[in-house]
């Protein structure tokens, strides 16, 4: 039987795609372990890896003689936000600064008077060095997301990333629980001194919870699966049959994911992070709600509801005392909001925002600007606003907050649209997981500050890219249309034979 000269063969992925995937998996493994990548050397390492991934991708397109870049749904508001932060670093005439940010104009005037120098053009940012550093992180994150959006498009790529995320989430959760039970006051027992709020490799338990808020929905997407009727397990009549089925040779490692979800979710609830616990449960409830509303989604909703209940029971089993203390502190803060330091900071932050309402005081400059409006009398320094959204308002003004919300909204809208129009259950589950991870992160940002934790942002970028694009290609380099052409070619080859 001869083969048609027009018949297509499965092509291996381009070398640049393999470089991008390898760099992404490396970052997923390393970034949570280095304290969430908040140190300068950790940030530099991540940025260099992303730079290498981008260079390989661009070089591959140059060699092919074609520039093919698919813009993600959030490209316009995201790019405008990056431009806004960069604009905060540009020296502007004094009248312009006084109009846009009276606080920045006054501080620059005081510094010039103290130094005995003439006041010339000055930037809007109160700390240009810190704004520039954080802008580089944002740029690296944006490039990372763009690379994944254009390269992670097959089920095999997504499964490798999912397993990496789940394995790392499990290892970090086990390490966090063990380290907490044997706490020595140092990270990794022999590392730098850390506060009691540290959990696992993260200096703050909130940052650990932020990572799990992304991983748990992704792991649940693997549990939901896309089994066809022929793949359904036989009816199990007793616990002995259940045990035999779980130990059957055809049972794969995916059976373990259910237990890993309980471990990671339970560790999140017992981490002590009130915002993390609320955000995780809110994300799971959102996952249940979207499943109930979807056509033939009641089965998924039921499984997620059962998983939610089991996660709570797992947290009770791991440490009922910590879970009860978290609930008690949350209820106390809600019931006595007037005594909450968090609420006082937010009130002061609103006063700070009024001094630079349009473009803010400069990205990541809250620690520099807040002492001007501080009303809390305590021997404690506040470097952030205890809220991603409140700090975005003070750092970047109404313009920056609006662009950030528009970026999140455009991503949620694109994910929900893909969820409703998904060509397969697996693609639908990935879109659902990406939506829930983003919503959980947005909810946690209301009462927690996670913006500088690069590891969490990289995990979220991977989850969003998989939710938006994974499954577009059946094989590397082949689309659904290409598969149809392959079948036609094969039919032609058979007729020729």
Model pLDDT, residue 241: 59
Measure the CA–CA gap between 250 and 231, rounded to whole angstroms: 11
pTM of the predicted model as reported, rounded to 2 decimal places: 0.87
Do the Cβ atoms of 246 and 194 come closer than 8 Å?
no
Cα 205 → chain centroid: 16
Model pLDDT, residue 8: 43
Please give the structure tokens belonging to residue 406: 């528009």
Tokens 């470097």 sit at which residue?
A: 383
Burial of 199 (0-12, 13-18, 19+ CB in 10 A): buried
Measure the CA–CA gap between 213 and 263, rounded to whole angstroms: 13
Do the Cβ atoms of 269 and 312 come closer than 8 Å?
yes
Model pLDDT, residue 2: 47
Model pLDDT, residue 336: 81
Instruction: Tell me how many helices (H) and strands (E) the chain has.
Output: 18, 2
- Give the count of beta carbons closer than 10 Å to the beta carbon of residue 424: 11
With the CA atoms of 288, 155, 439 and 447 taken in that order, what torsion angle do they form, in degrees rounded to the nearest 10? Answer: 120
- The helix-helix angle for 128-151 and 454-469 (nearest 10°) equals 30
Tokens 């499990």 sit at which residue?
A: 170
Cα 218 → chain centroid: 11
| Nearest CA among 135, 143, 141, 138 for reference residue 86 | 135
- Provide, for the chain, the percentages of residues in helix, strand and coil under a 3-state DSSP scheme, each rounded to the nearest 5: 70, 0, 30
| Nearest CA among 378, 469, 493, 411 for reference residue 148 | 469
- Give the count of beta carbons closer than 10 Å to the beta carbon of residue 323: 20
Model pLDDT, residue 230: 42
475 membership: H or E segment, kind and range: strand 473-475
Mean pLDDT by runs of 10 across the 497 residues of the chain is 45 80 96 92 95 94 85 95 96 86 81 69 90 95 96 91 96 95 92 90 94 95 63 49 51 75 94 92 88 62 87 92 88 82 91 92 92 83 90 96 97 94 89 94 93 94 94 53 36 38
Model pLDDT, residue 90: 93
């Amino acid at each position: 039987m001869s083969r048609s000269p027009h018949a297509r063969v499965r092509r291996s992925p381009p070398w640049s795609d393999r470089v991008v995937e390898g760099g992404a998996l490396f970052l997923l493994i390393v970034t949570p372990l280095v304290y969430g990548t908040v140190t300068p050397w950790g940030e530099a390492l991540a940025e260099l890896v992303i730079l290498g991934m981008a260079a390989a991708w661009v070089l591959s397109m140059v060699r092919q003689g074609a520039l093919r870049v698919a813009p993600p749904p959030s490209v316009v508001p995201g790019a405008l936000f990056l431009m806004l932060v960069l604009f905060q670093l540009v020296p502007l005439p004094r009248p312009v600064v006084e109009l846009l940010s009276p606080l920045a104009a006054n501080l620059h005037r005081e510094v010039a008077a103290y130094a005995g120098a003439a006041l010339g053009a000055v930037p809007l940012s109160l700390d240009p060095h810190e704004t520039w550093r954080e802008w580089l992180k944002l740029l690296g994150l944006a490039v990372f997301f763009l690379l994944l959006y254009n390269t992670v498009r097959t089920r095999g790529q997504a499964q490798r990333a999912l397993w990496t995320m789940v394995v790392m989430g499990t290892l970090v959760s086990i390490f966090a629980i063990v380290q907490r039970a044997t706490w020595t006051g140092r990270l990794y027992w022999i590392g730098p001194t850390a506060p009691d709020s540290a959990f696992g490799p993260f200096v703050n338990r909130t940052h650990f919870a932020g990572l799990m808020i992304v991983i748990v929905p992704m792991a649940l997407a693997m549990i939901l699966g896309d089994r066809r009727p022929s793949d359904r397990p036989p009816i199990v009549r007793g616990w002995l049959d259940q045990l035999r089925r779980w130990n059957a040779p055809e049972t794969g490692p995916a059976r373990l994911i259910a237990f890993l979800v309980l471990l990671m979710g339970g560790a999140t609830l017992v981490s002590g992070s009130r915002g993390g616990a609320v955000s995780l449960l809110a994300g799971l409830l959102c996952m249940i709600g979207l499943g109930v509303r979807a056509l033939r989604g009641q089965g998924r909703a039921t499984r997620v509801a059962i998983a939610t209940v089991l996660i709570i029971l797992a947290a009770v089993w791991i440490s009922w005392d910590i879970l009860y203390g978290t609930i008690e502190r949350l209820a106390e803060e809600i019931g006595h909001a007037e005594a909450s330091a968090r609420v006082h900071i937010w009130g002061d932050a609103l006063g700070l925002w009024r001094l630079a309402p349009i473009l803010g005081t400069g990205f990541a400059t809250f620690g520099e600007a807040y002492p001007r409006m501080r009303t809390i009398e305590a021997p404690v320094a506040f470097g952030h606003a205890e809220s991603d959204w409140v700090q975005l308002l003070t750092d970047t003004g109404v313009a920056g907050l609006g662009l950030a919300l528009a970026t999140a909204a455009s991503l949620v809208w694109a994910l929900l649209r893909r969820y409703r129009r998904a060509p397969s259950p697996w693609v639908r589950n990935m879109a659902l997981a990406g939506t829930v991870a983003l919503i959980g992160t947005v909810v946690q940002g209301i009462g927690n500050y996670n913006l500088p934790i690069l590891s969490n942002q990289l995990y979220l970028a991977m989850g969003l890219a998989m939710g938006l694009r994974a499954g577009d290609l059946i094989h590397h380099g082949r689309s659904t249309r290409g598969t149809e052409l392959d079948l036609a070619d094969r039919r032609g080859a058979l007729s020729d034979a």
